[in-house]
Each structure stands twice: as structure tokens, then as C-alpha cells.
């Protein structure tokens, strides 16, 4: 009995002590906000889990927040420093188009490279033969001749003689050839060819549509060039003169656009490229063929020349052509 009473007394006395210890333990384990003291990390709220000392995130340190500037309404902004880096210096030569037909442009060192070019040699080749009299004596029904006002010329079957002025000659079937004669030389035009021949010393031959060797020229009265025979390609002008050719002979003021020229045969012959398109838009001879009362033959010839102008523009381009003056022929 005594022992049982003693045990019960000890248990009763130890209960308050145990309760005090448990209370202290629970108080220390409670969150900071329940203990009436500031939390360790207010940004995380009262979750009772302070951030680990190593920053969390698998051992990566947490970045410290950058200090934010404090703006004062009365403070003046500090101007930014701009460093100007000048561009690299270089010499730029302006591209100035030059009209080589201008009478005021007389510097030969500049004119010669513009006028003379080996590219013009594409328009002329040596001819090994010239049509015979029998070939030119065929039918003249397919030959069309147009002349400018004041032109001195005559037509005898397939043979046209030009004393002075300009003629446009087209050859179609059933004709095989036409022959154009001047005081300097002869021009043979085969079937399918279209040319303009102007004679006023020198002689000029413009091949408008004679592909291949359909347009041939034979020099007849220039010393040293007798019986000289060449073929002229479409889109090229051959100039032949008894006197040495000058700058005005290569670039006359006739309104036709030209580029590239080459002087041949000691200055008595020259070849230049011209724009067939410009010829058709400015020539009086083309205007004659385009009149309302013109027949179907003239219209067909104009169509052929227009096609050739388009082909030449496509193949050779249109850059570099220069025209001056008004078209007279």
C-alpha cells in the first residue's frame, strides 16, 4: 500500500514538469509570426521555413538584388556621353554622263576612248565575193524604194543610182538582189535585207535588217581601196569616204543613236553600231512607209524591222547609245 501510494505521488508531481517541458518545445517549434517576433524572411511569409543558408537551388547562390536608383523630382539628368566615330575617308569620283556629240567637248584624250572601240568590229567582216550582174538583173517586183525630199536618184529595174541624198531600199521575194550605186562604191542587198544609203560625201550604209551577209559593200573609187569588199551586220553603219574621216563623220547630228566606232583602212572607212529602234522612231523614211495609204508590202517590211530592233536590244542591250541633232533623212 505504501509503495503504491508513493508511486502515485511521484507521478502526480511530475505531470506539471512534463507539461512545462512540452510547452516550451512546442513554443520553440512554432512559426515566427506565432511567437510575436519578426520573421526571418518576410518575403516568404509566415510559412515557418526560413531559406537555407546555402541559398537553395541545388547549391547555387542566390543573386543579391541590385540597388535601385532613387529619383528626385528636382534633380537634373546627367547628359550621356556620345563618342562620334567619323566614317573612313575615301575618294569618290562622280559619274558624269558625257555627250560625245557636243561641239563644246573637244578634249581628244577623252573623246577618242569614247568613240573608238574594238567592239564595233563585230559589225564588219571581209567579203570574198560580190553579186554578179546576172544576179542583180532579176525581177524588181519585190524591191521597195523610199527617198527623202531633195534626193537625186534613179531606178532602173534592180539598180538604184544615188547622186545625192538618202534612200531606203527593201528586198523581198520574188526579187533576189538590189544594187545601190554611189560615187564612192556599190551596195548589194540580198532578199530579206533592208538598208538606208546616204551619200553626201562620205557614203553611209545602215543595215536595218539584213542578217548574215545580205548587205555587202564594194569600194570602187578610192585609191588603195579599189574593189575592197565587206559585209555589214544588222544594227551597224559603215562609213566610206574619199577624204580621211573625222569626228563629225563618226557622230553626225542626224538624230540617230550610236555607240562604239572603229576607224579602218587608213581613215577612209569606219564602222559604228547604231540603234535600229531610234532609227525607226525618228527617220522620215520610216514615216513614209508608215503612212495610211501604204500597202501591205510596206507594213510587212516595217514589221520585220521592228522585230530586228527588238532582237538587237535583247542581245546587245541598249546602254551607251548617244544621239544628237534632229533627224533629216
Q: Are 255 and 323 in contact (CB under 8 A)?
A: yes
CA atoms within 13 A on the CB side of 135: 12
Alpha-carbon span 295 to 311, nearest angstrom: 25
Alpha-carbon span 260 to 274, nearest angstrom: 8
110-253+261-271 maps to CATH 2.60.120: yes
Q: Are 328 and 255 in contact (CB under 8 A)?
A: yes
At residue 9, the 3 state secondary structure works out as: helix
Alpha carbon distances (Å) from 53 to 56, 60, 66, 88, 132: 8, 11, 20, 56, 115
Alpha-carbon span 314 to 312, nearest angstrom: 5
Q: Output the nine-digit C-alpha cell for 182.
A: 554611189
User: Given this model, what pLDDT does residue 59 score?
Assistant: 55
Give per-residue pLDDT as tens, 121-171.
Answer: 999 999 999 998 888 988 999 999 999 999 999 999 999 999 999 999 999
Position 292 confidence tier, pLDDT thresholds 50, 70, 90: confident
Residues in a beta bridge with 258: 274, 322
User: Given this model, what pLDDT does residue 126 score?
Assistant: 94
User: Given this model, what pLDDT does residue 122 score?
Assistant: 94
Q: Output the nine-digit C-alpha cell for 98.
A: 558625257
Alpha-carbon span 79 to 101, nearest angstrom: 60
The predicted model gives 166-183 an average pLDDT of 96
Q: Are 202 and 222 in contact (CB under 8 A)?
A: no
DSSP 141-159: TTEEEEE-TT-EEEEETTE
Give per-residue pLDDT as tens, 302-315.
Answer: 999 999 999 999 99
Mean confidence (pLDDT) of the chain:
76
Position 17 confidence tier, pLDDT thresholds 50, 70, 90: low
**Candidate from 70-84, 109-123, 134-148 with smallest mean pLDDT:** 70-84
User: Given this model, what pLDDT does residue 43 score?
Assistant: 44
Amino acid at each position: 500500500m505504501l509503495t503504491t501510494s508513493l508511486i502515485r505521488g511521484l507521478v502526480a508531481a511530475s505531470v506539471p514538469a512534463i507539461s512545462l517541458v512540452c510547452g516550451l518545445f512546442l513554443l520553440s517549434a512554432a512559426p515566427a509570426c506565432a511567437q510575436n517576433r519578426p520573421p526571418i524572411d518576410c518575403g516568404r511569409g509566415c510559412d515557418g521555413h526560413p531559406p537555407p543558408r546555402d541559398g537553395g537551388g541545388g547549391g547555387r547562390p542566390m543573386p543579391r538584388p541590385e540597388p535601385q536608383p532613387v529619383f528626385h523630382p528636382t534633380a537634373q539628368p546627367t547628359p550621356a556621353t556620345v563618342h562620334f566615330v567619323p566614317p573612313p575617308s575615301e575618294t569618290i569620283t562622280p559619274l558624269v554622263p558625257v555627250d560625245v556629240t557636243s561641239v563644246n567637248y573637244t578634249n581628244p584624250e577623252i573623246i577618242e576612248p569614247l568613240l573608238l572601240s574594238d567592239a564595233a568590229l563585230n559589225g564588219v567582216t571581209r567579203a570574198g565575193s560580190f553579186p554578179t550582174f546576172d544576179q542583180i538583173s532579176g525581177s524588181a517586183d519585190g524591191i521597195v524604194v523610199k527617198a527623202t525630199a531633195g534626193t537625186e536618184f534613179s531606178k532602173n529595174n534592180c539598180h538604184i543610182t544615188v547622186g545625192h541624198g538618202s534612200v531606203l531600199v527593201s528586198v523581198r521575194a520574188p526579187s533576189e538582189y538590189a544594187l545601190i550605186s554611189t560615187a564612192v562604191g556599190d551596195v548589194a542587198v540580198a532578199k530579206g535585207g533592208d538598208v538606208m544609203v546616204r551619200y553626201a560625201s562620205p557614203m553611209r550604209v545602215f543595215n536595218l535588217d539584213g542578217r548574215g551577209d545580205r548587205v555587202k559593200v564594194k569600194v570602187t573609187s578610192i585609191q588603195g581601196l579599189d574593189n575592197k569588199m565587206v559585209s555589214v551586220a544588222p544594227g551597224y553603219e559603215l562609213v566610206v569616204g574619199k577624204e580621211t574621216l573625222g569626228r563629225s563623220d563618226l557622230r553626225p547630228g542626224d538624230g540617230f543613236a550610236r555607240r562604239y566606232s572603229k576607224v579602218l583602212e587608213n581613215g577612209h572607212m569606219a564602222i559604228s553600231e547604231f540603234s535600229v529602234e531610234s532609227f525607226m522612231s525618228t527617220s522620215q523614211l520610216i514615216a513614209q512607209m508608215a503612212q495610211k495609204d501604204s500597202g501591205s508590202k510596206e507594213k510587212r517590211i516595217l514589221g520585220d524591222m521592228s522585230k530586228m530592233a527588238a532582237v538587237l536590244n535583247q542581245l546587245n542591250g541598249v546602254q551607251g547609245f548617244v544621239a544628237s541633232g534632229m533627224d533629216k533623212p
